Structure 1
Amino acid sequence: MLIGNRTPTRVLTGDRPTGPLHLGHYFGSLQNRVRLQREGVQLFLVIADYQVLTDRDVAERLQENVEGLVLDYLAAGVDPQETVVFTHSAVPALNQLLLPFLSLVSVSELRRNPTVKDEIAHSQQSAVSGLMFTYPVHQAADILFCKANLVPVGQDQLPHLEATRTIARRFNDRYGPVFPVPEAMLSEAPLLLGTDGGKMSKSRGNAISLSATADETARLLRGAKTDSDRRISYDPDQRPEVSSLLLLAALCRQTDPYTVAEEVGDAGAEKLKLLVTEAVNDYLAPMRARRRELAQDLGLVRELLRRGNARANQVAEATLTEVRDAMGTPVY
């Protein structure tokens, strides 16, 4: 199949298990992953559990968060028969790839990475660890171990992908052709703001999780930031908070935000929030019901991860063998 003018062999994407996935994740990436899977793309989905420590001192509630991510994936339509779902920590070869990859980038290049700078600015650590600087190289290992040639990313993640592209090119130049140079697949989904008007984020308490109840969703949206203009209009530049709510309702209704704005008209922010709440809860109801059903048998989730980890290890070991051969590193 073609995506644009590209024929992807493998796509790698994933999430850190720092909490439940929210609406920004769903419309920004998860929905697209399910579409790619249904179109026959071979998808590797990493749960980056080691990388939780990049911006925090400890990884809290890790098992619960990992299993919660899998439940979110399954409820949204990820098919474990078609998509390899695995945890970073269960694939030792990923961390063996990290060492030769680190030799291909300079300290100054890591320091200049704008995504690293932003992560440091929002870090929850008492002091930034060395893991923060190696984060882009960790991601390069995640992407290149399965020889992914297309990576769905947001605009803010492009510097990380460019680091991966640099590492792939330098390895191939130094040791011979082993890795594809992956391309970015930018999401076409516009940015959804959090309820406080800032970037929607699990750690900032401004997101509506996919697993939230209908009542929790209503409470969060009642407190969403808007503005004083009673006439509701879609204007992302001048009215970002109102426009984000309109966009969210439009995505859930599969219409456009201008149509939603006309429906609300002069009824003000209260009517807008009620309409958005209804749209979100109606859209997520089947997904939430499926998630509750799946959560009754976490043994199924754990077996899914065991199978995904086994497959990821097979692929990673094969790639590590190629790397050792290319570098002339014997294994006795």
Structure 2
Amino acid sequence: MNSFDAVEQRSLELAQAVLQAPGDYRVLTGERPTGLLHLGHFFGSIVERIRLQRAGVDAFLVLADYQVIADRDSMPRVREYVYSAVVDYLAAGMDPDQTTIFTHSSVPALNQLLLPFLSLVTEAELHRNPTVKSELAASGRALSGLLLTYPVHQAADILFCKGNLIPVGKDNLPHIEMTRVIARRFNERYGRVFPEPEALLTSTPEVPGLDGRKMSKSYGNAIALGMSADETAQVIRRTPTDSERRISFDPESRPGVSALLSTSSLCTGKTPEEIAESIGDAGSGALKKLTTDAVNGFLAGHRERRAELAKDPSFIGDVLRRGNERANQVAVQTLDEVRTAMGTRYE
């Protein structure tokens, strides 16, 4: 059995264990608020978070606003993106009494873990991280210290609350391994303080953007959860397809058409092939109309709840305030344990 097979087998065991004893697990999940949440977030992570919440797992959700500092285009709107994300979480069914929603910048004790954790990793280990490598390749310029140390920030996010179960896709397994390495090295050097978190592999599909690539804020190919029905129709109408009237599902040769079919599939529960067969020779115009109706129908309830929540910004602020307070309490306790273990308590 290779290493991934072993992780996959262990993930299946964990999924069953969570159902039997949810109180034994604490989850850390989150994202960088660099834009509006979209369908990719909904199917890729929000659905899984709600499933774990309903199972009774204690969950922490970080909106990593400090990680946005490296993104000059997003930083001026970070407050808007944070508040918008919270509205979407609540509209989707996340309960702030069960899931602690907080921001990086509001939890100083979490960020203080970064220094001892940095002492436990080498520069070479940081450069090998897939996210660091992809950021370097995409930027074409020298990495900032913030981006280079991104894996250690993630370890601090997970370990400050002693998260022991992390929902991730296969591509993010190296982040979990880095966190496990840091926890192990700290425990070996100073005495056991941290659990070594394990990965819960998510089976959610990769949601294609409207151009066939992965749906992403940075690609501009996303359907935001907060779009109106008319805005959704306009975005889908502009999707590049091709001149062939017969609709078929072929992601490699027909990325635009296939992306629309995949989006419709996620929103209706039908397979892309079934949808393609139902459209037949009606062409891309019929496909775009069907996709628009599917997305707008699927998101109708979410948008209604979202609009209602957005009417009360003070409630959204209160959700963040309460989440930040709880995260701070947990982080201060963990930092106190770290200082005790390291011999840096002077009271």
Q: What's the TM-score, normalizing by structure 2? A: 0.89
Select which of 297, 300, 307 maps to 2:312: 297
- In the TM superposition, residue 57 of structure 1 has moved relative to its aligned partner by 7.0
Mean Cα deviation higher: 298-307 or 7-16: 7-16
Select which of 206, 228, 231 maps to 1:191: 206
Letter matched to residue 305 of structure 1? L
Distance 1:162 1:55 in 2: 26
- In the TM superposition, residue 237 of structure 1 has moved relative to its aligned partner by 4.8
Mean Cα deviation higher: 277-286 or 168-177: 168-177
Mean Cα deviation higher: 218-227 or 316-325: 218-227
Cα gap change, 1:2 to 1:132, in 2 (>3 Å):
closer
Mean Cα deviation higher: 2-11 or 187-196: 2-11
Residue matched to 1:117: 133
> CA RMSD for the aligned pairs?
2.1
- In the TM superposition, residue 115 of structure 1 has moved relative to its aligned partner by 1.1
Unaligned runs of 5+ residues in structure 1 are none
Select which of 144, 150, 163 maps to 1:148: 163
Residue matched to 2:230: 215
Checking the alignment, whether the CA contact within 8 Å between 1:175 and 1:326 is kept in structure 2 is yes
Distance 1:5 1:224 in 2: 43
Mean Cα deviation higher: 18-27 or 219-228: 219-228
- In the TM superposition, residue 266 of structure 1 has moved relative to its aligned partner by 2.3
Select which of 259, 263, 284 maps to 1:248: 263
Checking the alignment, whether the CA contact within 8 Å between 2:91 and 2:306 is kept in structure 1 is yes
Unaligned runs of 5+ residues in structure 2 are 1-12
Cα gap change, 1:254 to 1:58, in 2 (>3 Å):
closer
Residue matched to 1:69: 85
Q: Is residue 168 of structure 1 aligned with residue 199 of structure 2? A: no
Checking the alignment, whether the CA contact within 8 Å between 2:208 and 2:262 is kept in structure 1 is no
Residue matched to 2:292: 277
Q: Is residue 257 of structure 1 aligned with residue 262 of structure 2? A: no
Distance 2:171 2:242 in 1: 27
Letter matched to residue 15 of structure 2? I
Checking the alignment, whether the CA contact within 8 Å between 2:34 and 2:74 is kept in structure 1 is no
Cα gap change, 1:52 to 1:190, in 2 (>3 Å):
same
- In the TM superposition, residue 228 of structure 1 has moved relative to its aligned partner by 4.2
Mean Cα deviation higher: 216-225 or 85-94: 216-225
Residue matched to 2:75: 59
Select which of 128, 138, 147 maps to 2:143: 128
Cα gap change, 1:32 to 1:301, in 2 (>3 Å):
same
Number of aligned residues: 331
Select which of 263, 288, 302 maps to 2:303: 288
Residue matched to 2:346: 331
Cα gap change, 1:322 to 1:232, in 2 (>3 Å):
same
Name the SS for the 2:30 alignment partner.
strand
- In the TM superposition, residue 239 of structure 1 has moved relative to its aligned partner by 4.0
Q: Is residue 205 of structure 1 aligned with residue 237 of structure 2? A: no
Residue matched to 2:329: 314
**1:247-278 deviations in Å (ceiling 9; x for gaps):** 22121112332322221222222211111110
Cα gap change, 1:240 to 1:170, in 2 (>3 Å):
farther
Distance 2:71 2:169 in 1: 19
Residue matched to 1:95: 111
Letter matched to residue 267 of structure 1? A
Cα gap change, 1:271 to 1:250, in 2 (>3 Å):
same
**1:224-250 deviations in Å (ceiling 9; x for gaps):** 233444332334455444333222212
Q: Is residue 40 of structure 1 aligned with residue 56 of structure 2? A: yes
Letter matched to residue 213 of structure 1? S
Name the SS for the 1:63 alignment partner.
helix
Distance 1:175 1:57 in 2: 41
Cα gap change, 1:255 to 1:170, in 2 (>3 Å):
same
Cα gap change, 1:262 to 1:50, in 2 (>3 Å):
same
- In the TM superposition, residue 88 of structure 1 has moved relative to its aligned partner by 0.8
- In the TM superposition, residue 162 of structure 1 has moved relative to its aligned partner by 1.9
Letter matched to residue 249 of structure 2? Y
